[in-house]
Amino acid sequence: MGGSVEGGTAGVAVSTGQEIRSMVGEPDTVQKAGHAMSGYGRLMTEVGQQLLMIKDSEIAEWRITGKATDKLRSGVAEAAQMLAIASALYAPIGQALEIYGTKTSDYQTELNKLALTCQEQWRTYQRLLAAYKSSTAPAPDDPDYDQKQRERSKAETEVMDAYDAWSHNATLWNNTYVSWFAQYTSAVTSLSDPRLEAIRKGELPEVTPLTLFPNGDPDPTDVDQGSVGDCYLLSVLAGIAKGDPDKIKDLITANADGTYTVHFKDGDITVRVDQLPDDGQADWVRVIEGAYQVHEGSFEEFDNGGDPAAVMKAIYGGDADYKDNKSGIWDWLTGGNDIDDSGGQIKDALSHGRPVVAIASDGALGFDGGGHALTVTRSYDKDGVAMVEIRNPWGSNNGHEGAIRNAGGTLHDPDDGYFTMSFADFAKAFTAVEIQK
Amino acid sequence: MSAEKVVIDYDLLDGVRTSIRTIITALKDAPENAHDAAGAIDRPFEQPQLQALAGDFRGEWESRREDLITSLEDVSGYISDVIDSYYGLDRWF
């Protein structure tokens, strides 16, 4: 859908008072620029550390290349310090721009689509309203009064219907604008951070050690997903925190230089504190999120959803068991690969501290499209009925309470993201289950 | 200090030199790239702050950018000298 909508042609959003119009800017370009800056920031850190290593280490055949080596050693310390400062500037600004560009790209598409619809509907409303206003009410003594009055009422209804149609999309535009503006404000806040001003003056920020485990041990409640689309990661992490908290502790090494290394099966990834998302979750979650973002190559990829099984593979190695609620040739070959058949495997995995993730997609439990990944935290019997306990990584089930209850679920009161349901209802309600072997 | 205590090898030095060249290019292009990013941000819904902040993200650090480029060019040259002298001698042996 093309075309730009100018202000004043599509009405005004009531809540924000914003003229409905297209959004200018090229967020994809911003995302790419931010990604590049963020990458340069990481490279600067890496090279700075390598230079310091060169300064303090011995070089092969140093005896032969003595003079050149002396020069090199004398020059690296200053460069390393300057690189550390440049990195402290590039990395957070790049990350903030990358996140803004990624998120804004979707908002812009939605805002511009809605603006076009609003413009069309606003014009229709204006046309019908003008026609209605230009007509005069029939006089009571008019011989065609009844007919003319019916036509006038019909015209009035058409005007109101046109307004309602516009108002519906104007509200959607308004709500999308509000969400976008929150992202914009977040980016402005990041780029206005007073710490950046100190860095620009040549002062490196003090690295305050993180409190990785605020509750002593990792706990599922440490996971509290915000606006980033990484339920696929968080649902697995909450499961490990519940069943095998030491596994989380073993996954992370706090380094002496203030960085943190996450030991994925396909390689260690080291992150600085300024690379971590500022999303209010426990620091161990933020560290793994920061490292997984590097693992995925970009914030865009990280934020764009993913497969819990891929996360399990990165943490445990090997493939996870996948169960769905569709019958097919694979079920026939294996003698059963449905969620219904997975009760024993789920119980076995949970009893051995391995994560189990349930996926609701394509409208299941009200989760549209690719859906949402939730953690299965417990499998137990109650009065002879097999039950499961599930936790939403949002730390709530906001907007889905009704769908969960309708599917047989019982939510905690107050809602803390947990709910229980019989295993039979669970097998019907969810689209797939992924079980760490 | 003896040649037997090898910690840094020449492949690593070569890798550092390549990385430094990449960083130097990024630093040299920084004003233009910041200008492009600010242009791409634009002023959505007449909001000017982010564009201004991105366009001038270097701020007071700008004066140090040239210093860093010079310093990195020096280091890159020193690394080249170490590598060249090593391989130069290596050919003799």
What is the interface pTM, i.e. ipTM, of the complex? 0.87
Contact A60 B12 (CB under 8 A): no
List the single residue in A24, A37, A82 with the smallest CB-CB distance to B64.
Answer: A82
Q: Is pLDDT larger for residue A282 or for residue B82?
A: A282
Evaluate whether residue B43 is within a structural domain: yes
- Enter the tokens of residue A45: 């850190």
Widest Cα–Cα separation across chain B:
69
Phi, psi angle pair for A219, to nearest 5°: -140, 145
Closest alpha carbon to A298 in A104, A42, A47, A45? A42
Alpha helices in A135-206 (DSSP H): 145-191, 194-200
Q: Beta strands A260-264 and A252-254: pairing type? A: antiparallel
- Find the closest chain B residue to A35 by CA distance: B37
- Find the closest chain A residue to B46 by CA distance: A24
Q: Which residues of chain A have pLDDT under 70?
A: 1-2, 58-66, 327-336
Contact B74 A79 (CB under 8 A): yes
Evaluate whether residue B1 is within a structural domain: no
List the single residue in B40, B45, B89 with the smallest CB-CB distance to A18.
Answer: B45
Q: How far is CA A173 from CA A10, A15, A118, A124, A125, in A?
A: 11, 11, 8, 18, 17
Q: What is the pLDDT of residue B2?
A: 34
Evaluate whether residue B2 is within a structural domain: no
Given pLDDT bands bounded at 50, 70 and 90, which one contains residue B92? very low
Domain enclosing residue B43, as ranges: 10-92
Q: Which residues of B touch A61 (CB under 8 A)?
A: 3, 86, 89
The domains found in chain A, sorted by start residue, are 27-197 (no CATH), 220-316 (no CATH), 321-435 (3.90.70.10)
Evaluate whether residue B76 is within a structural domain: yes
Q: Is B69 an interface residue toward A (CB < 8 Å)?
A: no
Which of residues 32 through 61 in chain B touch A, CB cutoff 8 A?
A: 33, 36-37, 39-45, 47, 49-50, 53-54, 57-61
Q: How many CB pairs under 8 A join A and B?
A: 168
Q: Beta strands A432-435 and A321-324: pairing type? A: antiparallel
Q: What is the pLDDT of residue B93?
A: 36
When divided into structural domains, chain B yields a total of 1
Closest alpha carbon to A68 in B16, B74, B80? B80
Map residue A322 onto helix, strand or coil: strand
Q: Beta strands A418-422 and A385-391: pairing type? A: antiparallel
Q: Name the pTM for this structure.
A: 0.78
Contact B81 A58 (CB under 8 A): no
Q: Is pLDDT larger for residue B5 or for residue A154?
A: A154
DSSP H or E run through A300: helix A299-303
Chain B interface, best mutation among A82, A102, A181, by max B CB count within 10 A: A82
Q: How far is CA A109 from CA A19, A242, A254, A322, in A?
A: 17, 39, 41, 34
Evaluate whether residue B5 is within a structural domain: no
- Enter the tokens of residue A157: 């209804």
Tell me the C-alpha distance between B81 and B87, whole Å.
Answer: 10
